[in-house]
Amino acid sequence: MMQYDLVIVGGGPAGLAAAVAAKDHGVDSILIIERDKELGGILNQCIHNGFGLHTFKEELTGPEYASRFIDQVLERGIEYKLNTMVMDISADKTVVAMNREDGMIEIKAKAIILAMGCRERSRGALNIPGYRPAGIYSAGTAQRLVNMEGYMPGKEVVILGSGDIGLIMARRMTLEGAKVKVVAELMPYSGGLKRNIVQCLDDFDIPLKLSHTVVDIEGKNRVEAVTIAEVGPDRKPIPGTEIRYTCDTLLLSCGLIPENELSKSAGVALNPITSGPIVGDNLETNIDGIFACGNVLHVHDLVDYVSQEATTAGKNAALYVQNGAAADAKTVEIVPEGGVRYTVPKFIRPTEMEDNLTVRFRVGDVYKNMAIATYYDDELINKRKRPVMAPGEMEQVILSKKKLAEYPDLTKITIRIEEV
């Protein structure tokens, strides 16, 4: 059996940043396991720019952003295995992995960082009725075909869902010669970043139809037409509002799902809202020595935040490798309320946490001129006005260790959206 201090499952942005941080905090025995043929994860197919504004203060493409971290991994001599699939993780931190050269290998780790990322919601999971011809792709699959393989999946396109990948692909397909006829979004607001609506749809005169969904797919071999209809407040289609678009392609950008099948096999407890592990301020799961970061933990809007979060996970995994399990400390739960859907982390240890801890979350609706309020038990501690908040963009609250020290009897922290 092979032995490493730290095994990182996934060599995308989360795994890379976590590896760098762990190494910089003194762990030498690190193995990154990546299932694809290169490091960098999904960033490799995100050839548009807009990455790294927070981290590097410049606009990079996805592969450029990834290469900055890949370089850091290489400079530090961190080991990695490509084309290697992790088949199983057990609660005692034995990782079973497989590739062509090594066959099936068992690796005993002192600590594990889960950084497997997420997958796209499929047509099946959306239960869209109609035929099942060729020509229906998740936006990410189309992105891989176009950006990495150089092949066009179709020439007349309807897109369901206004998630960021769908918006980016509306522009990409247009630039590569296809006609994007419409983007339909079930919700009354977009699931993507505002800047992507402007730069990818508005700039190309692609209509966005909010509160619309696909109600029929025609075509027995290849998609021939897609019908969309308006939905009411119950999100059910309104009869008589159908619009039929002839097209050969339907792209789906209807949400991302953290890939936690391995986490489950290790006994990691998941939050049903995020579909990611429940973690404390050090990003450790309920299983000692198993940490999580990036889109496997919760789906992020910007990769910069993934890198920040992964750095925290890498540092804490290093502490675990060096010092063993953290001493029992008091924990305080963070309760999301009034429009706040969840928080990561789910709880904090006021005596052990970092001096300033970033708590990230998403809201459940569009809020204009409202405020994010933080309560220590019933006492309002902070209220920050936000002109616009939307489910497509992450929000944050920073908790101060110093301030928390003034509340030794604190039982819970509540974060909610309120009137200003």
Q: By CB under 8 A, how many residues form the interface with another protein?
A: 54
Please tell me whether residue 155 binds another protein under the rule CB under 8 A: yes
Among 53, 104, 398, 405, binds another protein (CB under 8 A): 104
Using the contact rule CB under 8 A, the part of the chain among 71-79, 152-160, 281-289, 308-316 near another protein is: 152-160
Query: For residues 387, 389, 394 and 400, what is the CA-based torsion angle, rounded to 10 degrees?
Result: 50
Tokens representing 137?
A: 């792709």
Q: Residue 246 is which amino acid?
A: T
Among 129, 233, 240, 387, which residue sits at the site for another protein (rule: CB under 8 A)? 129
One of 8, 27, 35, 161 touching another protein (CB under 8 A):
35
- DSSP letter at 139 equals H
Interface mask toward another protein for 164-183; x: CB under 8 A? ------------xxx-----
Q: What is the DSSP string of 301-360?
A: S-HHHHHHHHHHHHHHHHHHHHH-SPPP---EEEEEETTB---BSSEE-TTTS-SEEEEE
By CB under 8 A, which span of 7-15, 153-161, 186-194, 320-328 interacts with another protein? 153-161
Residue in 85, 366, 394, 410 binding another protein, rule: CB under 8 A: 85
Smallest gap, in angstroms, from Cβ of residue 376 to another protein? 35
Q: Which of 125, 198, 269, 420 binds another protein (CB under 8 A)?
A: 125
Contact call for residues 118 and 296 (beta carbons, < 8 A)? yes
The answer to whether the CB of 281 falls within 8 A of the CB of 354 is: yes
| Nearest Cα residue to 242 out of 231, 221, 228, 256 | 228
Q: Is 133 in the site for another protein (CB under 8 A)?
A: yes
Q: Residues 259-298: x/- map of binding to another protein (CB under 8 A)?
A: --x-------------------------------------
Tokens of 274: 């995020």
**DSSP string covering 263-275, please?**
HHHTT--EETTTT
Q: Cα–Cα distance between 106 and 124 in angstroms, integer? A: 35
Among 53, 74, 134, 329, binds another protein (CB under 8 A): 134
List the one residue from 92, 102, 337, 365 that touches another protein (CB under 8 A): 102
Residue 55 has which token pair? 């981290």
The dihedral built from the CA positions of residue 164, 341, 290 and 331, taken in this order, carries a sign that is positive
Instruction: Give the Cα separation of 167 and 199 in Å (integer).
Output: 9
Q: Figure out which of the listed residues 53, 74, 87, 329 binds another protein, where binding follows CB under 8 A.
A: 87
Contacts of 92 (CB under 8 A, 6+ apart): none
Residue 209 CB, nearest distance to another protein (Å)?
19
Q: How far apart are the first and last CA of the chain?
A: 58
Distance CA 197, CA 214 (A): 20
Min dist CB 257 to another protein, Å, is 8
* Binders of another protein in range 218-257 (CB under 8 A): 218, 220-222, 237, 248
With binding defined as CB under 8 A, does residue 216 bind another protein?
Answer: yes
Q: Shortest Cβ distance from residue 103 to another protein (Å)? A: 4
Residue of 47, 68, 94, 131 that binds another protein (CB under 8 A): 131
Q: Give the binding site for another protein (CB under 8 A).
A: 35, 83, 85, 87, 96, 98-104, 106, 119-120, 122-125, 127, 129-134, 137-138, 140-141, 144-146, 148-155, 176-178, 215-218, 220-222, 237, 248, 261
